């Protein structure tokens, strides 16, 4: 017996509707999001990573970019984001960098990992090194403790550029 149906609010329904369009759009994946401020949608996005050959083109990032462009700001304080799946570390970082105040998501990391694993069986380009939990663990580590080889050089030169830039803005 199926559980009682949950009434979705219009913003989550809109995110789900956008995600459903991926089935008929080449080069998209069914991860979508909407950004809402003061009861109005100010940004929408869908994962276009395969189409754009852009691994940062996640639904949440695209919705945030859309909202920032529409409002001509990078500060989305007070906004909420509604997304079809639990966001990855990159998407969460983008939410934090833009001061998004609330996250509402549908599918969790297990649902997403299962879906992506199934897709990768037919499309090797979708194979991922880490699931969302493993990705969070890698991102949380200092650079020298991550699985990726890391080298540091040019600190002095970079700091001089930063200082010069800051001084030019005074």
**Active-site residue numbers?**
60
Residue tagged 């989305």 (tokens): 76
Say if CB 12 and CB 44 are below 8 A apart.
no
Say if CB 111 and CB 19 are below 8 A apart.
no
Q: Would you say how long the chain is, in residues?
A: 170
Distance separating alpha carbons of residues 63 and 81, to the nearest angstrom: 8
Residue 93 three-state SS: helix
10 closest CA partner among 82, 117, 111, 105: 82
C-alpha distances out from residue 145 to 72, 132, 134, 138, Å: 38, 18, 14, 8
């Amino acid at each position: 017996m199926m559980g009682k149906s949950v009434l979705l609010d219009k913003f989550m329904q809109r995110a789900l509707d956008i995600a459903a369009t991926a089935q008929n759009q080449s080069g998209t994946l069914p991860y979508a999001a909407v950004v809402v401020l003061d009861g109005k949608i100010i940004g929408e996005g869908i994962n276009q990573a395969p189409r754009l050959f852009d691994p940062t083109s996640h639904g949440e990032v695209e919705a945030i970019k859309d909202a920032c462009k529409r409002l001509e700001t990078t500060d989305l304080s007070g906004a909420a984001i509604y997304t079809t799946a639990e966001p990855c570390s990159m998407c969460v970082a983008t939410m934090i960098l833009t001061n998004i105040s609330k996250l509402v998501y549908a599918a969790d990391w297990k649902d997403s990992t299962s879906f992506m694993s199934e897709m990768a069986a037919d499309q090797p380009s979708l194979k991922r090194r880490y699931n969302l939990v493993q990705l969070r663990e890698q991102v949380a580590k200092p650079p020298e403790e991550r699985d990726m080889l890391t080298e540091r050089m040019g600190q002095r030169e970079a700091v001089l550029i930063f200082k010069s830039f800051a001084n030019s803005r005074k």
